[in-house]
Amino acid sequence: MSKLLTVSPSPHINSNQSVEKLMFGVVISLVPVFLASLYFFGIGALIITTISIVTCMLTEMIIQKYLLQTEIRIRDGSAIVTGLLLAFNLPSNLPWWMVVLGSVFAIGIGKMTYGGLGNNPFNPALAGRVFLLISFPVQMTSWPLPITSRMHYIDAATGATPLGYVKEAIRNGETVSDAMTQLPDHMQMFLGQMSGSLGEISALALIIGFLWMLYKRIITWHIPVIMVGTVYIFTGLLWLIDPSKNAAPLFHILTGGVLLGAIYMATDLVTSPMTKTGMVIYAAGIGIITVVIRVFGSYPEGVSFAILIMNAFVPLINKYVKPSRFGKEVKHG
Amino acid sequence: MLKTFPKGGVHPPENKLSAHLPIRQIPLPPSVTILLSQHMGAPAKAIVEKGDQVRAGQLIATGEGFLSGNVHASVSGKVTRIDEVQDASGYKRQAVFIETAGDEWFEGIKSDDILEKDFDIDGQEIIKRITEAGIVGLGGATFPSHVKLNVPRGKKAKFLVVNGVECEPYLTSDHALMLEKGEEIMVGVQLLKKALNVKLAHIGIENNKPDAIRHLKELSAKHEGIQVHALKVKYPQGGEKQLIRAITGREVPSGGLPVDVGVVVFNIGTVYAVYEAVQKNKPLIERIVTITGKDIKQPSNFRVRIGTPISALIEAAGGLPENTGKVIMGGPMMGKALGNSEVPVVKGTSGILILSDTESSRSIIQPCIRCAKCVSVCPMCLEPYLLMPLAQQNKFDTLEAAHVMDCIECGSCSYICPASRPLLDYIRQGKSSVGKIIRSRKK
């Protein structure tokens, strides 16, 4: 035989998956969410998303090229996903330079300091968001009104998020049911007609994205379902105890980024546990911490902090929660 | 719902190009190279010398020690030399070279195809004939069959499980055998049941072979104590432990053998070989080999004499395609890539798969993104993402504690990894080192 043959160990075929395809799948699944943000916030949504993606990609490229002097892996698409998700966690009227700062922090500190893709313990987009929230609390909590602010960017008219409004009302001694009369109804909230960050408003768009990612097997159902379920049960119990001081569970799920967090932020492959049992513990932990912050803390929302806190527990979960090995139990029938 | 093993597994494209094609005999090769170690365990010892005349089915090497197997001449002719040759793994092994002359069979062997249903011999006699015939597991592991049949003291076999799963993509030799030799397989199952002294045999077949399931179900209705099970299509269902779990619900304990849960497993091809050995007095000197690949002109199922160079099979299937990148002995998930096409067919050769240049190139390795797909597909419920770096860093104690020895090397982790990480390459290395450490501890 004249030709040399390739000799390598088995397996000799692979599933033809790649990191690029996974990341691209996430991007595709975010299209409905992006369209919803364009519909409700117009030009601001476009500006924020563009700046965030471009800055994230540039930051990663510059760090890889000049600081680390390694191969530039920008093509894996992970920086695009981080950029998109960071933008979806911001209000549409945030000054452009804050978006740049947040993106640089997300990639530079949140991801590259740990060694880049696959090594970061915390969700980079959330690290960026929380950095901005702590640094610029006023700008980060002024929320443009939906639809009316379509043609405005910085100068958009603002209002409270439903969750913020209810929190404030409870603090002022009003009952939840009084506060609810001032808010959009559940169907409007489900479609996304409320103040909030770009990606958190439309439950419909988020659920479409979720189903797409399930269909493409990018994520499993465990984290989103358990996290949302935990929030529902916990807030439901509180609501049953005192409905005048606590909002209904469905309200909690439709507002304040629970769905965005459950479907896109908590499921980040790199920063979530490796076993199904681990995922359940992690997701339930996020749900509980979210409600604790919302109900007993000073922030109206709690999803970002809850996810970052549980991110810190992931190595511990991975160490102690092992798959149930084959052949561990001997069954005699 | 179809039975299957509960955790892990993948479903690669099946690509059963040669399914439903009849088994064809290929012309006798001008010479054969018969390896002396075609089985797990010690190599057999040659009892012929250069210049000897042998006939097909004549014993040419005897099994040495507890774990070994007899080897027979597969053609008639003259022993030209006894020398080293490269085997499928690339090692130099002793082999007997025979130049073919005519097709004379050793006395007492019935080389015809007439079905012989009835038998009246006891279990010990069956095991004796199987031992003499040099039968080993034909699924690929080549474990000597007589060793499995001699159930260790204190243990008891309750069921026989027959593996007709053929979960490897491309391969169809077992499928073809089930379609054409169903009656013989039933007799083989009865013989093995008698040898093991069990009342019930389960035959497991994946649901992508409905014709074989139907055929064997019809035949088994006429036999007592044989059940045919349709299984969900999922790799590695043909793994012994996965198959037992799928059919009986029992889990072979870590480090244990099937007989620990009262089961003995034989491949469908082995069952047929048992039939031939006992009923036809024919030693294991030929088997069914699938020759396949997307660019092969005529993917086929051949009946091949052991020792035939695989180049002869490739020729018979239309020649080696221009764009060949890899020649694999076995299936794409667990087969061995060969360094040349002169490697002879051995008892464990279930198929020859030709992959093209593009199919044989590996993708660039990317960083682990901790997607956990390897954990979710591992049929042994291990954590490949963890085992690979441990093996790279030679952390053998931790590897052992992480159950690396349970790995069945099915390759599902490497197959699924989106970052194209060569998980199994390193895990296999780690496993081999840990295995050595464990053996040295026992001494």
pLDDT tens-place values along chain B, 443 residues long: 799 999 999 999 999 999 999 999 999 999 999 999 999 889 999 999 999 999 999 999 999 888 999 999 999 999 999 999 988 888 999 999 999 998 999 999 998 889 998 889 999 999 999 999 999 999 888 999 999 999 888 899 999 999 999 999 999 999 999 999 999 999 999 999 999 999 999 999 999 999 999 999 999 999 999 999 999 999 999 999 999 999 999 999 998 999 999 999 999 999 999 999 999 999 999 999 999 999 999 999 999 999 999 999 999 999 999 999 999 999 999 999 998 888 999 999 999 999 999 998 888 999 999 999 999 999 999 999 999 999 999 999 999 999 999 999 999 999 999 999 999 999 999 999 999 999 999 87
Residue A134 in contact with partner chain B when CB distance is under 8 A: no
Contacts of B308 (CB under 8 A, 6+ apart): B26, B29, B32, B74, B344, B345
Q: Is A210 helix (H, G, I), strand (E, B) or coil?
A: helix
| pLDDT tens per residue across span B136-157 | 999 888 999 999 999 888 899 9
The answer to whether residues B258 and B392 belong to one domain is: no
The number of angstroms, rounded, from the C-alpha of A212 to the middle of its chain's C-alpha atoms is 16
**Which pLDDT belongs to residue A173?**
85
Among B279, B309, B326, where does a domain finish?
A: B279
In-domain check, residue B313: no
Return the percent helix, strand and coil in chain B, to nearest 5: 30, 20, 50
User: In what helix (H) or strand (E) does residue B77 lie, and over which residues does it extend?
Assistant: strand B77-86
Among B264, B279, B294, where does a domain finish?
A: B279
Contact (CB<8Å) A327/B90: no
| A264 Cα to chain B: minimum distance (Å) | 14
Query: Which portions of chain A are predicted below pLDDT 70?
Result: 1-2, 329-333
**Which pLDDT belongs to residue B140?**
80
The answer to whether residues B72 and B186 belong to one domain is: no
Residue B249 in contact with partner chain A when CB distance is under 8 A: yes
AA identity, residue B38: Q
**Which pLDDT belongs to residue A332?**
44
Among B245, B279, B313, where does a domain finish?
A: B279
Per the structure, the count of domains in chain B is: 3
A vs B, Cβ pairs < 8 A, gives 183
**Which pLDDT belongs to residue A329?**
59
Minimum CA–CA partner of A73 in chain B? B366
In-domain check, residue B34: yes
Residue B3: CB atoms within 10 Å: 18
**Which pLDDT belongs to residue A153?**
86
Q: Which pTM was predicted? A: 0.92
Residues of B in contact with A320 (CB under 8 A): none
B83 phi and psi angles, rounded to 5 deg? -150, 175
Considering Cα of B9, then B12, then B18, then B24, what sign does the dihedral take? negative
Question: What is the spatial order of strands in the sheet that B200-206 belongs to?
Answer: B226-231, B200-206, B159-163, B263-267
Question: Which alpha helices (DSSP H) does B280-422 contain, by range?
Answer: 310-316, 357-360, 373-377, 384-392, 396-401, 412-416
**Which pLDDT belongs to residue A179?**
85
- Give yes or no for a contact between B292 and B278, defined as CB atoms under 8 angstroms apart: no
| A232 Cα to chain B: minimum distance (Å) | 27
Contact (CB<8Å) B251/A326: yes
In-domain check, residue B44: yes
The answer to whether residues B80 and B184 belong to one domain is: no
Contact (CB<8Å) B360/A6: yes
In-domain check, residue B413: yes
In-domain check, residue B95: yes
Window 17-76 of B: residues touching A by CB (8 A cutoff) are none
The answer to whether residues B129 and B247 belong to one domain is: yes
B371 phi and psi angles, rounded to 5 deg? -75, -15
- How large is the ipTM? 0.90
The answer to whether residues B145 and B48 belong to one domain is: no
DSSP state at residue B406: G
Domain containing residue B131: CATH number? 3.40.50.11540
- Give yes or no for a contact between B168 and B332, defined as CB atoms under 8 angstroms apart: yes
The answer to whether residues B91 and B220 belong to one domain is: no
**Which pLDDT belongs to residue A2?**
58
The answer to whether residues B88 and B200 belong to one domain is: no
Window 170-189 of A: residues touching B by CB (8 A cutoff) are none
In-domain check, residue B48: yes
What's the number of CA atoms in the CB half-sphere (13 Å) around residue A261?
A: 31
Q: Is A251 helix (H, G, I), strand (E, B) or coil?
A: helix
The CA angle B34-B70-B171, to the nearest 5 degrees, is 60
Peptide bond between residue A11 and the one before it cis (omega within 30 degrees of 0)? yes
**Which pLDDT belongs to residue A260?**
96
Q: Are strands B226-231 and B200-206 parallel, antiparallel or unpaired?
A: parallel
**Which pLDDT belongs to residue A331?**
45
In-domain check, residue B406: yes
Q: Which of B170, B98, B403 is nearest to A10 (CA)?
A: B170
Contacts of B338 (CB under 8 A, 6+ apart): A5, A7, B88, B310, B327, B328, B329
Q: Are strands B23-25 and B324-329 parallel, antiparallel or unpaired?
A: unpaired
The answer to whether residues B89 and B127 belong to one domain is: no
Instruction: Look up the domain containing B378 and give its range.
Output: 373-442
Residues of A in contact with B254 (CB under 8 A): 325-328
The answer to whether residues B166 and B223 belong to one domain is: yes
The answer to whether residues B265 and B154 belong to one domain is: yes
